[in-house]
Amino acid sequence: MTRESESGIPIDPVYGPDTQADWDPAEKLGEPGQYPYTRGIYPSMYTGRPWTMRQYAGFGAATESNARYRDLIANGTTGLSVAFDLPTQMGHDSDAPIASGEVGKVGVAIDSVDDMRVLFDGIPLDQVSTSMTINAPAALLLLMYQLVAEEQGVEAGKLTGTIQNDVLKEYIARGTYIFPPKPSLRLTADIFKYCGAEIPRWNTISISGYHMAEAGASPAQEIAFTLADGIEYVRTAVAAGMDVDDFAPRLSFFFVARTTILEEVAKFRAARRIWARVMKEEFGARNPKSLMLRFHTQTAGVQLTAQQPEVNLVRVAVQALGAVFGGTQSLHTNSFDEAIALPTDKSARLALRTQQVLAYETDVTATVDPFAGSYVVERMTDDVEAAALELMGKIEELGGAVAAIEHGFQKAEIERSAYRIAQETDAGERVVVGVNRFRLDEEEPYEPLRVDPAIEARQAARLAKLRAERDQGAVDAALDALRKAAAGEDNVLYPMREALRARATVGEVCGALREVWGTYVPSDAF
């Protein structure tokens, strides 16, 4: 019986030259580091140096997360990746009633520049690359990072890192949006302009398919919907008067790596090829860096199991291998216990060691693009590309990514895919080791890491102290300037930066913008 890939594409038992009848190697492949970048965006790839090992971490208050970051750096991580708690992601302070019970749970609580200062205490920001998984309030967290660097004596031009800043996927799959799409896109364009002038080495957006994949999107859906969002961001920036080559080199992407290695490798190759063609043909990009799809990868959290959690070590290693074979620029490997609770120090260290074994004990870094010319991978690359382009065509017919979101197209497609996966798992057609096959009669006990519930009270006390000490008149004046800019056409990041410098809080700054821009209410909520 012929198997199907995660995207529903038939996988033949044998591939050979006859399966490549219409295949032109020169057109489809090229050389590594050359258009259309199927074989990777750099000529040497990992033969020059390995990918960036960027471990995603953050929990509790800034003090606890700072200790974890220092430990990761000491153990060889080459890039930090900050996880923020839900109130921070939604633009609320830790003492807001809506934040009750969520402070510090799924990431670190950051309420003001005071917290950001503690988060990076003792970490030289001109020597570390930092990625921040934050979307609607991305501008705030970036500006606080810049202010802390300024206090360290580090020039903004030396800062390197990424803000996720991809709000469109929040409307599709994740839900941590604040403002409606139009002002959200305006804020994105303001960030592009600000970073171009003030923080030129910063990656201004990480257009994310990861969260859509975690919600159930197939590989073809993941890259189709992600690239469609990317096109929308580029169109927004161009419409705001920016030249495509002034900002496109700082765009980056974020994808998942599943256990299905062959299709994942094909997915990454297809995504690079599609993006290069779109940037060249639709937007007329001339800078080769504008054509390069640079991406970060995280192993698939949704494939981790609470049953027999040690088996997740194997899953993560396999997923990481797929990301490396696919040519990722940076990688986060999940900890084996994340299906149970926040990772412990030991499990986070093991996740990092997984990457180090791949980089330094295997031969996968010895040659560029090990799968080039593989009959199966080249055919699967074509198949995934065709399926993704078909979906992208449907989005264009609806009027683009935002219009398709308003029609509920991407969300419905992902839900359909997720339902198929659930059905196959329940029926035993999709094997999940330890869940529907090879189960244990009794699971071994495991002691997870728990967040101290007193953190919420401590954050509230810090906020009370901050409000009592600061110059409230300066805060009020700065927030008024922010409202004025939001209501007009000036770049909102400049008054936002001054408000944060005056020690305005995340909730206060986002609240000022809510007053002008309103909040997003999904259509299915009416």
Q: C-alpha angle 391/397/403, rounded to 5°? A: 95
Query: With contact defined as beta carbons under 8 Å apart, do 36 and 277 qualify?
Result: yes
The 10s digit of each residue's pLDDT in 451-479 is: 888 999 999 999 999 999 999 999 999 99
Rg (CA), the chain: 23
The whole-number average pLDDT for the span 2-16 is 91
Query: What is the spatial distance between Cα 140 and Cα 226, in angstroms, rounded to a whole number?
Result: 24
This prediction has a pTM of 0.94
User: Please, which residues bridge with residue 55 across strands?
Assistant: 80
Q: Report the share of the chain in percent with pLDDT over 90.
A: 90
List, as one string, the DSSP characters of 48-85: TSPPEEEEEE--BSHHHHHHHHHHHHHTT--EEEEEBP
Residue 523 has pLDDT above 80, yes or no: no
| Residue 448's pLDDT band (cuts 50, 70, 90) | confident
pLDDT tens digits for 45-91? 999 999 999 988 899 999 999 999 999 999 999 889 999 999 999 99
Quickly state the pLDDT bin for 450 (edges 50, 70, 90): confident
279 vs 56: CA distance, rounded Å:
30
Question: With 0-12 CB in 10 A as exposed, 13-18 as middle and 19+ as buried, what is 205?
Answer: buried
DSSP letters of 389-456? HHHHHHHHHTTSHHHHHHHTHHHHHHHHHHHHHHHHHHHTSS--BTTTBS--SSPPP---B---TTHH
pLDDT-based confidence at residue 446 (cuts at 50, 70, 90): confident
Q: What domains does the chain contain, in order, with CATH numbers?
A: 36-391 (3.20.20.240), 475-525 (no CATH)
What is residue 21's predicted lDDT score, i.e. its pLDDT?
55
**Position 26 confidence tier, pLDDT thresholds 50, 70, 90:** low
Token look-up 């390069």 returns 292
Return d(Cα 359, Cα 355) in angstroms, integer.
6
pLDDT tens column, 126-139: 999 999 999 999 99
- What contacts 515, CB < 8 A, 6 or more positions away? 483
Average pLDDT, the chain: 95
CA atoms of 181 and 194, how far apart (whole Å): 20
More confident residue, 341 or 266: 266
